Amino acid sequence: MPIANKDVTWVEEPEIGFWEATFLPAIFAGLKTTVRHVTHFQPVTEQFPEEKPTLPLHYRGVHRLNRDDQGRVKCVACMMCATACPARCITIEGAQAPWEDRDKYPSSFVIDELRCIYCGMCEEACPVDAIEMTHLYDLTGFSREEMIFDKEKLLGVFDQTKDSGRDPVRTQRGRLGPASDFEGLPALAPATSVRGDDRSARSVTAGVIQGTAVMESSWEQINEKIEKK
Ligand code: SF4
Ligand code: SF4
């Protein structure tokens, strides 16, 4: 499309005076800024490791495996955390629990802390609050093997952090955790009750919500087939 002259804004080059041509005003303005920073010095650099940073309460650091009231590992080897983990860095081997209050426990529980992206999905997924992330951030080691935390090491992190004040056990509801108490739940959970006007519940394809007209014709066809039978 051709551009009309009225669409163009012409900018006149400003004329530079004598003092501007010497650059002295710009040099003095720069010096003024430098002197202001020197005389009103306000450090923003954190002097780590001499000074420890103040971390937010929801900071996600090294994992721990929580113990229950009797000092046993709280985990019930349900694999929810390993399934939710996007980095695939949790490896669990379940075995029959030697205790009567649960079916399974982890005979082996390993997290590769180098592969972990510290997203927190594992602790969100855990139904019994057995895996939690702590405020420990300065994880160091001389080899990759040292960064692979097994069950004993993860339980050791719990022993190290549980009384620190920064990492309290988040929930202690129920015998093992919130998901293990089914007595208080209704026979049918809310998700199983579908309202009549809920079009998503009548979708013929998973994840696809059909338009009302399409759905009504689909239902008519289905009803016709049922009546023919
Ligand atoms: S924090 Fe994220 S990446 Fe790390 S173990 Fe948990 S789910 Fe996996
Ligand atoms: S989600 Fe919790 S209970 Fe299940 S395997 Fe992971 S840590 Fe254990």
Q: Is it the case that residue 224 has pLDDT exceeding 60?
A: yes
Atom in ligand 2 nearest the alpha carbon of residue 177: 3
pLDDT, residue 55, reads: 83
Identify the residue whose C-alpha is closest to ligand 1 atom 5: 116
Which pLDDT score is estimated for 171?
Answer: 56
Give CA–CA dist 127/79, Å, rounded. 10
Mean pLDDT of the chain: 80
pLDDT at 227: 63
- pLDDT computed for residue 21 by the predictor: 92
What is residue 192's predicted lDDT score, i.e. its pLDDT? Answer: 43
Condensed to tens digits (0 to 9), the pLDDT of residues 36-62 reads 999 998 888 888 889 888 888 778 999
162 and 59 Cβ atoms separated by less than 8 Å: no
For the whole model, what pTM was predicted?
0.62
Quick one: the chain helix, strand, coil %, rounded to 5? 35, 10, 55
Question: Which segment of 16-20, 69-73, 173-177 scores lowest on mean pLDDT?
Answer: 173-177
pLDDT per residue as tens digits for the range 109-165? 999 999 999 999 999 899 888 999 999 998 889 999 999 999 999 999 999 998 887
Q: Which of 103, 105, 124, 131 to mutate to test the pocket of ligand 2 (most atoms within 8 A of CB)?
A: 131
Alpha-carbon dihedral 61, 65, 70, 76, rounded to 10 degrees: 140
* Residue of 85, 111, 150 with the most ligand 1 atoms within 8 Å of its CB, for mutation: 85
Torsion of CA 23, 25, 28, 33, to 10 degrees: -110
CB 154 less than 6 A from any atom of ligand 1: no
Q: What integer pLDDT is reported at residue 46 of this predicted model?
A: 85
Per-residue pLDDT at 34? 95
Spatial CA neighbour of 151 closest among 83, 94, 205, 218: 94
Going by pLDDT thresholds of 50, 70 and 90, the confidence category of residue 189 is very low
Question: Tell me, what's the pLDDT at 86?
Answer: 96
CATH architecture assignment, domain 63-176:
2-Layer Sandwich (3.30)
For ligand 2, atom 2: residue with the closest CA: 126
Digit-coded pLDDT (tens) for 159-182: 999 888 777 776 554 444 444 454
Q: How far apart are the CA of 44 and the centre of ligand 2, in A?
A: 41
**Looking at the predicted structure, is the pLDDT value of residue 7 above 80?**
yes
Separation of first and last alpha carbons in the chain? 66
Q: What is the mean pLDDT of residues 199-203?
A: 46
Residue 67 is classified by DSSP as B
- Which of 11-15, 88-92, 101-105 shows the lowest per-residue confidence on average (mean pLDDT)? 11-15
Say whether the peptide bond before residue 2 is cis (omega within 30 degrees of 0). no
Range with the poorest average pLDDT among 25-34, 129-138, 184-193, 215-224? 184-193
pLDDT at residue 220, as a whole number: 59
